[in-house]
Amino acid sequence: MLHLPTALLMGSVGARVYSEYQAHIAGRATGGVVGFGSLTTGLAAGLYRTTPTAGAQSMTGTSWQGVFSRSDAVQTYIRTVVLHGLPSVDVYSDLLVSGREVLISINAIASWSDFLGRTRNGFTSTTALLTAPAAQLLELIWHDGERPWRSRPYTSQGPEPYDW
């Protein structure tokens, strides 16, 4: 007789439907909703919900696994931080088409120096040797239509399945 673990009988334990995910991130979004074309500079540290929309904006600064795993950005738009932070341009494109919300955790920094450019997911940020206000993308959570995922770009973790 074959005995299957309970998790296999029930399906994937962490695979929550999108409506559950949406309710969860609405409760976590301490900063509320932010437009996808908004600047990260000027945002207070916190968790923000955003919905991917098409369009391109410029970005200055390291956005993924820079020096000492910094994930900083200055004068940056939400859309470019999210594009850099996701595991692939395909995931980003899927979010654009589906309109599924993303939860981002931003840490605001009053002054940071020397932002090194990086290329990731088809987008290149520019290098700037300056001191300016900055934002760190600490956490990025999205739903791929089947389950929620999380990346922590600042500490180079993920993507990994996300559950609560």
For a pLDDT cut of 90, what percent of the chain falls above it? 25
Is the Cα dihedral 33, 56, 119, 39 positive or negative? negative
* Confidence (pTM): 0.73
C-alpha span between 2 and 5 (Å, rounded): 10
Does 4 reside within a domain? Answer: no
Instruction: Examine residue 5 and state whether it is found in any structural domain, yes or no.
Output: no
For residue 79, being part of any structural domain is answered with yes
> Considering the domain boundaries, does residue 1 fall inside one?
no
Enumerate the β-bridge partners of residue 107: 136
Range of 111's domain?
10-53+60-161
Sign of CA dihedral 145, 148, 154, 158: negative
pLDDT in tens, 40-81: 767 788 899 988 877 655 544 444 333 323 444 555 678 777
How many structural domains is the chain composed of? 1
Residue 162 CB contacts under 8 Å (≥ 6 apart), including other chains: 14, 141, 147, 148, 149, 150
